[in-house]
Amino acid sequence: MNTGRLSTIPEIQTIPIPQDIQEEIETFEDEVSRLQLGETPMDLFKPFRLQYGIYGQRQPDVQMVRIKIPFGGLNANQLRRIAELTDTYGTGVGHVTTRQDIQIHFVPLKDVGTVMRKLAEVGVTTREACANTVRNVTACHLAGVCQGEVFDVTPYANTIAQHLLRNPLTQSLPRKFKIALSGCKQDCAMTPIHDVGLLAVKAEDGTIGFRMVVGGGLGAAPRIAHLLREFVPMEDLIPSIEAVIKVFDNLGNRKNRSKARMKFVIEKLGFEEFRHRWEEAYETLFGKSPTHPPIKLLQHPDPAPLIMPTKNGSNGHGSNGQHAATETPYAMWRRTNVVKQRQEGFAAAVLRLPTGDITAEQMLAVAELAEKYSNGNVRTTIGQNLIVRWIAEGQLEALHQELEGHGLGQPGANKTEDIVACPGTDTCGLGITSSKGMARALADVFPPGQVPEDLKGTTIHISGCHNSCAQHHTATIGLHGVGKRIGEHIAPVYELHLGGQINGTAQIGQMTVKLPAKNVPAAVSHVVELYRRERQEGENLFAFINRTGKAKLKEELIPHSILPSYEEDTSYYMDWEADQEFSVEDLGPGECAGGAVEMIDNRILEAEQELYQARILAEKHQFAMAINKAYRAVVAGAKALLVTEGIDPNTDADTLAEFDRFAAGKNGLIPEAYRNLSSKTENLGTKESTSAFTQDKMTFAKGFVDVCRKLTDQIGQDLKLGLGEASEEEPKAPESEPTVANEPAVEATILDLRGVMCPLNYVKTKLKLEMMDDGERLEVWLDAGDPIKNVPMSLRNDGHKVLAEDPLEADQQHFKVLVEKVEA
């Protein structure tokens, strides 16, 4: 902890921390103590920590604390507390994210509990800002004051966020789940890239509701959401969302994180089948013809300030033509940063935060100015800025003068020069490149307040990796960092995406070319110059990119894509603002032999970890989470046993169904009490579950995990279960196993395992060989890479004869392995 840089902090008003929140924080602190004493392993602590909104950083022994701010709404008192914590426990600089959160970096783990407690004293939490949960619910920063909005979505965003927070339905989803709300057709909250997007609409009879889309997302596989309901009445809003979450929880891929988001569930099922599953889930949860009570809205006080507006002043829209060279700093700021509200005489001012960073001193200044010139409220934006609303137009110039004194009067907010960038390698453990460094390099190309009007509407977003935290797919010019190896050296490189937009219409930008980091400013300048040279009358950059096409643009940019060798120019092998050679951590391939046993052990460990979490949560009366953890323990135990059959389901539904089939086929192996798991684990209770209900769930889960542990305790490389009355049947290959009997060149049974990863391909091969006689031959078809490297080696270790390993196809993407069984 540092000694603090702030000279004085105004008195902060606090509230008593509710008992359940106090116990929640104590639970976290207890786990930190156990970790530091060596009683809890880091592998157990990490998912626990994420549930509380705490990330590890790429730097050791410090954490990133993510503060969850539904719809971006804060009051001055809360902002002062965040400033105090940023100064005392962090580096003195906070970071506003594209999900309207605020992050504090470099917080020592021992201080995180204190930070949580001090946030709770002002009604703010970090809970579920990370992990496989419903992340922060975002909304347009102009909600309530927007001139074109259908209605104010703020109370609906707040209600959804609070309802889903700590809800048993959302505690252990297959992957993160994102919700956004917009109040008008401009769709500032970008609903099409969310798991659930809600756009305010009004029916013909004047009734208000939401247009609901589902299954959007970015990352390595961006998808635009599908329309699920054209009109959702308000009383049906939360039930409709819960049914979507239920489908995702049940069918989301829990084996492969890269395929775990809801967009992949829809892709696998097809949207019409997904819609059918959603209808089934809705009926299961609420009945065939439910009558829902009116929604109970959680309001967010946002009154007009005491300062009354005057009639003087411009409308805040600024000029539509080229700005005059003599434009004053205030005029430039008002033109670019100020938006006229629908309330006559009032305006909203966006405070531009380059790359989303704001110092603790600046936070205190914003809090003071929000109380002085407005109603004491501020909002974070998905553009990584802050906005102060309800400013009397006659007060704007005085406000700007004071902002200038704190370094907050920069023009260009939400314009081309307001480049969005994630933290990248500054702090993120997943970051590959310095996205903030790249943003600062591009600032020379797009100087604040001086970008010509012909680039109006152009956006630039930079992500440090493919995960798209800066939402680079949605920008006119999007960049995401990768590494490229040339010989023994690796250079920082960016993939350039052009033509993204979500502004009433949705379009994902196309990956056009890969550019060395050092060449990106010149390449982007080239795109702009080409646009100005070849544009048609009235055509903006977005339209020009679409008309010109990817092939032409790539051809133009080829010279900028050339990466010289390290010997030719070492500067290409250093990232922006870096003082040492660029590097990327390279994880080696996993092993196949013994991998299945390790997989089983890991899942039993996971089950035990979930039980452990359930117990300590129940002790703190966090019953909803405890129940969900007990359920997760059952699923993990079932998956451990299924590995012995070469089955590794993607979803909870598949896991429970496969286990029920497995149990039915094993005479006496699985006690009757633990058969038909699907029906016995369905009910997760409610937010108001009792202690007795929770204990029943935990007792059932513990008994089941005990059975799983005993069955696997004696397991060896033969993958045969150790205890219980064994079935007299021979082991069967999974029903999905694609065994074909063509006419191979060598007399052998063919086992097609293309697309099956290690170690499951080895398990399936082993099971097949167990069904064969000594001397029989099996031809196994495997993918290139780890499968062909590891499976033959494992079979040799088992004592079988590997007779041949040959390419199956000319491109050597798949191989065939001929193995002869040898009885042990």
Catalytic residues: 758
Q: Is 132 exposed, middle or buried (0-12, 13-18, 19+ CB in 10 A)?
A: buried
Asked if residues 399 and 405 have their Cβ atoms less than 8 Å apart, the reply is no
Q: What is the torsion angle, in degrees rounded to the nearest 10, for the CA atoms of residue 88, residue 91, residue 96 and residue 99?
A: -80
HSE-up of residue 215 (Cα within 13 Å, Cβ side): 23
CA nearest 300: which of 141, 167, 177, 168?
A: 141
Asked if residues 489 and 524 have their Cβ atoms less than 8 Å apart, the reply is no
- Residue 783, amino acid: D
**Phi and psi (nearest 5°) for 491?**
-110, 145
Asked if residues 211 and 229 have their Cβ atoms less than 8 Å apart, the reply is yes
CA nearest 35: which of 52, 50, 48?
A: 48
Sign, CA torsion 195/199/203/209: positive
Alpha-carbon distance of 476 to 482, in angstroms, equals 20
HSE-up of residue 566 (Cα within 13 Å, Cβ side): 13
Asked if residues 249 and 655 have their Cβ atoms less than 8 Å apart, the reply is no
Alpha-carbon distance of 710 to 728, in angstroms, equals 20
For 136, 450, 499, 690, the CA distances from 502, given in Å and listed in that order, are: 20, 24, 10, 45
Place of tokens 């010019």: 477
Place of tokens 């470099």: 106
Neighbours of 207 (CB within 10 A): 11
Query: How many residues does this entry show for the chain?
Result: 824
Neighbours of 658 (CB within 10 A): 21
DSSP helix/strand/coil, 180: strand
Asked if residues 627 and 692 have their Cβ atoms less than 8 Å apart, the reply is no
Alpha-carbon distance of 395 to 391, in angstroms, equals 7
- Residue 796, amino acid: R
Neighbouring-strand partners of residue 201: 209
Contacts of 774 (CB under 8 A, 6+ apart): 821, 822, 823
Cα distance between the two ends of the chain: 61
Strand ranges inside 165-236, DSSP E: 179-182, 196-202, 208-214, 226-233
